[in-house]
Structure 1
Amino acid sequence: MLRRAVLAGLTAGSLMLSTACGGDGEPAQQQRQADGRLRIVAGFYPLQYMSERVGAEDAAVTNLTQGGAEPHDLELKPSQLAQVSDAALVVYLNGFQPSVDEAVRLQAKDKAFDVAAVERLAAGGEHGGDPHVWLDPVRFAVIVGKLGERIAALDPANADAIKVRAGQLQDELHRLDEEYTAGLRTCARREIVTSHAAFGYLAGRYHLTQVPISGLDPDEEPSPQRVSQVAALAKEKGATTIFFEALVSPKLSQTIAKEIGAKAAVLDPIEGVEDGDDYVSVMVRNLAALREALGCT
């Protein structure tokens, strides 16, 4: 494959760069901007968000996934491979973006922060390997704390400020959790019908039941039998809303909604955001959409 060929062609030079520096020691010169800020590379939006909040003026954060793009399908360009090689820290989620996983393995093993190693993803339990751990604010807060420790270790001169910012973001996430807990405590329904199985952690945290039309892969085509099953269950439970995602086609959700007399609406897995939005604002919007769909008081 082209991606593998590109990676192979750059491996030798990239490895020479990456082995010239330590993982948790003082970063090499190329791992800092000219103004002294740490170079941090994030695989996709939620990881960019927490890196920017924690690193702030002490870090220059690059998101490998362009706005509006589906992060699962990312194919790295040579320029992005160079960014991985030159980074002081690569923040990624192992198993979510294969091209990033491979770049980390070849070029950034000793300077990678793997979200999946901080908050281990269920391999086959209640969430079925769902990688969308950031949709649970409590789990996300744990990850933020660990990221703060890692960035602080790379930048001792600014360690205190970095840890303070990590704590501030954790406080915001815990307040968000409190809003969700209160907002979803008393609802007429507790089933959320979604276009794909991205909301397992959110559902588990707030005692909801996710009913996905398709599995964890947003490109997976559900069988006609599955679509019929979901439509029947949604009608039986009195669902008023069938959710779809901002980066995925709404057609299936709209079809089921029309069939049972419901409406289709967005429930965002926050894999990317539009200009003017951020993680917290989209989570607040998701809460409002859930409260309306579930008849919460």
Structure 2
Amino acid sequence: MNVRRRRISGIAVTAATALGLGTLSACSSDSSAAGNTDKFDVVASFYPMEYLAEQIGGDHVNVTTLTEPGQEPHDLELSAKQTARMGEADAVLYLKSLQPAVDEAIAQSDVKTKIDAASLTKLEDHGNVEHDHDHGGEEHADEHAEEEHSEGGEHPLDPHVWLDPVKYAEIAEGVAKSFEKADPDHAADYRKNAEALTKKLSGLDTAFKDGLAKTDTKVFFTNHAAFGYLAERYGLTQEAINGLDPESEPSPARIKELQQEAKADGVTTVFYETLVSDKTAKTLAKDAGLKTDVLDPLEGITDKSKGEDYVGVMEANLKALETALGAK
């Protein structure tokens, strides 16, 4: 269906269903399905956007995603078929600056409802920077953000905003409002589903606050700088082997610096992720006598993911951080 042409009635989904206890929507990784159903057709750019569309849309939406499971989203290139079909959708949900190919296609598309998740919350600068560990984690993170913005933003803004449950909830509320406006016949259900989702995300936020309140160290090493929002939210310090680009390579000086910081800050673990090479992380860990573990940036769900959906993987991330940081 294209909602601009005709409407359908639907049954309101319950809050439990909206949280993923049942199948919420028809979802496909082939965007060719967009525009050809009797539901509100949404094209999502990659998994975190897909999850929001499914949870908020419930039974009233048909969600297709541009990024295949297991595909590194930063490197996405769209086919001509995907680009053409995008224009047939009722809405497209994306995160501007994360996937340049998607940004370009959306700019050229005549789809009526374009929802940029980056415009629904405040993005920050969490570039691969040196940290002064004499400062407290959260206090220092706030100071750093203010310093960088005052200097005119020398680094690109960090797009990995979905890894902060609080900011992800802000985006969810904005997505719901966009759905309500584009498909007013089901506005009440979209509001209800969004409320259920934000409640779930609030519980996740509480779990992270409680789980990471008292730890032996506040510093963790990651493959690339995807966890800046999470670190800032919970008073931690992220030290990335690479910068915001997961495919970049660290300099020998950076590796030496990390080895020294591991000793100084009591770091036990080097985290890597499932969608990019773990070679550098494992080499650093071996040379520094550290352990390795997965900290999933949730850019996609695969059979290697330690959870079936966003909440499940975030809970697994919390357990990994609790272990690595020595939570008490």
In structure 1, the partner of 2:241 is: 213
Q: Which amino acid aligns with 1:54?
A: I
Match for 1:140 among 155, 168, 177? Answer: 168
* Structure 1 gaps, min length 5: 1-20
Match for 1:152 among 163, 180, 191? Answer: 180
In structure 1, the partner of 2:137 is: none
| Alpha carbons of structure 1 residues 56 and 139: separation in structure 2 relative to 1, 3 Å | same
TM-score (normalised: structure 2): 0.79
Looking at structure 2, the residues matched to 176 and 132 of structure 1 have their Cα atoms a distance apart, in angstroms, of 17
In structure 2, the partner of 1:167 is: 195
Deviations 1:123-175 (A, max 9, x none): 57639511100000000001101111111122222111111001100000000
- 3-state SS, counterpart of residue 68 of structure 1: coil
Q: Residues 259 and 284 of structure 2 are in contact (CA less than 8 Å); yes or no, is this contact kept in structure 1?
A: yes
Residue correspondences, number: 272
Matched, 1:27 2:29: no
Looking at structure 1, the residues matched to 283 and 125 of structure 2 have their Cα atoms a distance apart, in angstroms, of 31
Deviations 1:167-221 (A, max 9, x none): 1000000000000000000000000111111100000000000011110000111
In structure 2, the partner of 1:278 is: 309
- 3-state SS, counterpart of residue 113 of structure 1: strand
Cα RMSD after superposing both structures: 1.8
In structure 2, the partner of 1:289 is: 320
In structure 2, the partner of 1:83 is: 85
Looking at structure 2, the residues matched to 28 and 97 of structure 1 have their Cα atoms a distance apart, in angstroms, of 30
Deviations 1:3-33 (A, max 9, x none): xxxxxxxxxxxxxxxxxx9xxxx52469754
Matched, 1:185 2:230: no
Q: Which amino acid aligns with 2:103?
A: D
In structure 1, the partner of 2:289 is: 261
Q: Residues 38 and 59 of structure 1 are in contact (CA less than 8 Å); yes or no, is this contact kept in structure 2?
A: yes
Matched, 1:68 2:70: yes
Shift of 1:111: 1.8
| Alpha carbons of structure 1 residues 31 and 283: separation in structure 2 relative to 1, 3 Å | closer
TM-score (normalised: structure 1): 0.87
- 3-state SS, counterpart of residue 91 of structure 1: strand
Q: Which amino acid aligns with 1:184?
A: L
Looking at structure 2, the residues matched to 123 and 103 of structure 1 have their Cα atoms a distance apart, in angstroms, of 26
Shift of 1:120: 2.8
Q: Residues 135 and 202 of structure 1 are in contact (CA less than 8 Å); yes or no, is this contact kept in structure 2?
A: yes
| Alpha carbons of structure 1 residues 33 and 163: separation in structure 2 relative to 1, 3 Å | farther
| Alpha carbons of structure 1 residues 108 and 91: separation in structure 2 relative to 1, 3 Å | farther
Deviations 1:213-246 (A, max 9, x none): 1100001111111111111111221211001111
Looking at structure 1, the residues matched to 166 and 187 of structure 2 have their Cα atoms a distance apart, in angstroms, of 23
- 3-state SS, counterpart of residue 48 of structure 2: helix
- 3-state SS, counterpart of residue 150 of structure 1: helix
Identity of matched residues, % = 43
| Alpha carbons of structure 1 residues 32 and 248: separation in structure 2 relative to 1, 3 Å | closer
